[in-house]
Amino acid sequence: MSAPARVFPILHDREQRGFASDNYSGIHPEVLSALAAANGGHQGAYGDDAYTRRLEELMVEHFGAETAVYPVFNGTGANVLALQSVVPRWGAVICASSAHINVDENGAPERIGGIKLLPVATPDGKLTPALVDQEAWGWGNEHRAQPLAVSITQTTELGTLYTVEEIHALAEHCHSRDMYLHMDGARLANAAAALGLSLREITRDAGVDILSFGGTKNGLLFGECVVVLNPSAATGLAYLRKMNMQLASKMRFVSAQLIALLEDGLWLRSAQRANTMAARLALAVGDIDGVVLTQRPQANAVFAVLPPGVADRIRERFAFYDWDHASGEVRWMCSFDTTDADVDALSAAVRDSITARH
């Protein structure tokens, strides 16, 4: 007799919902099915497998000929590797002061990547050629780290979007100064969905040289990619990936997830859902007395200032982060699995918590 199938305990409340991060959501069912399909049998390790080869084909379909892809474990790894590959040890990277690489990666680009960051304050999380020029100087000065790349985030940490025209202007500006343009695309799918454009149109066609392509925030268990769009820009990625502990031995399980995302438009459907829910949330809370939306929602993030004490009361039911403790600004993120009912429940909690103050 065969042993009975093992039943694993569920250790969390599967009905609990939150708006803290699109990382809080589970795995998209189609991605989970793709993982199961990739299991069984033996495949070559470290990327020598059928799934990684198929992913490489899909990336060429989405981004064009001569696209090279390097799957990695996480977004910080993707950013560090991408920047290391385009900037030598004496190089520096210009970024927005609010950029993930500057604020949320615990110094990894500088400590692990050995790259000097040159942050620039921005009003909306977006760089412009004029803002870039605040730090784009000093070439040939041996006392200054050489500005050799610019990193932008799409969507930005403030939930704002770069238009194609803005990206193209930055790319031309960078290239005229012999700098490369890197894009942190942790939420690239949300940006493409919001702009109604293809992945290629807002990256390669706009002049981006190298891309960190996000998956975890769009329904993957784990996995991101470094995508080289300009073959002359990056060197040594195969070695850097191993050296930085981002080379998965069972890479087929990273690649299989990304295939599920890219093969039939799941990336777009999931991003559209998250964006739609954020728009619904902004509309629902925007007319509540005492709530001030600080950014026009452009993708799947809503930023708002709440009256003192209100956020903590709402957090008794829904997880979310304070963005600026001093001003009372909070951030609400929507995911591929956010529902109308989730949004309506949060907006009702906001209204009730503000009413209870009076």
One domain for residues 274 and 254: no
230 and 330 part of one domain: no
- Residue 63 pLDDT class (50, 70, 90 cuts): very high
Rounded Cα–Cα distance for residues 332 and 302 (Å):
5
Q: Judge if 158 and 87 occupy the same domain.
A: yes
* pLDDT band (50, 70, 90) for residue 358: low
Q: How much is the average pLDDT of 212-240?
A: 97
Kindly state whether residues 164 and 48 are assigned to the same domain: yes
Burial class (CB in 10 A: 0-12, 13-18, 19+), 338: buried
C-beta of residue 217 within 8 angstroms of C-beta of residue 236:
no
256 and 297 assigned to the same domain: no
Taking each helix axis from N to C end, the angle separating 266-286 and 340-356, rounded to the nearest 10 degrees, works out to 20
Cα 79 to the center of its chain, rounded Å: 10
Whether residue 174 sits in one domain with residue 40: yes
Q: Above 80 in pLDDT, residue 357?
A: no
pLDDT band, very low/low/confident/very high, at 356 (cuts 50, 70, 90): confident
Average pLDDT on 225-236 reads 97
| Confidence band, pLDDT 50/70/90 cuts, at residue 248 | very high
pLDDT for position 2: 72
**CA angle, 331 as apex, 326 and 336 as ends, to 5°?**
170
Flag whether pLDDT at 218 surpasses 80: yes
Structural domains of the chain, count:
2
Task: Give the domain CATH number at 82.
Answer: 3.40.640.10
Q: Which of 211, 240, 262 is the last residue of a domain?
A: 262
Which residue is listed with tokens 């699995």?
A: 337
Asked if 292 and 236 sit in the same domain, the reply is no
pLDDT at 1: 62
Is residue 10 in some structural domain?
no
* 100 and 182 co-located in one domain: yes
Identify the residue whose tokens are 């680009």.
Answer: 109
Residue 205, pLDDT > 80, answer: yes
In a domain, 21, yes or no: no
DSSP line for 160-207? ----HHHHHHHHHHHHHTT-EEEEEETTHHHHHHHHT--TTTTTGGGT
What range defines the domain where residue 180 resides? 29-262
Model's pTM, two decimal places?
A: 0.96
| Residues 77-94: tens digit of each pLDDT | 999 999 999 999 999 999
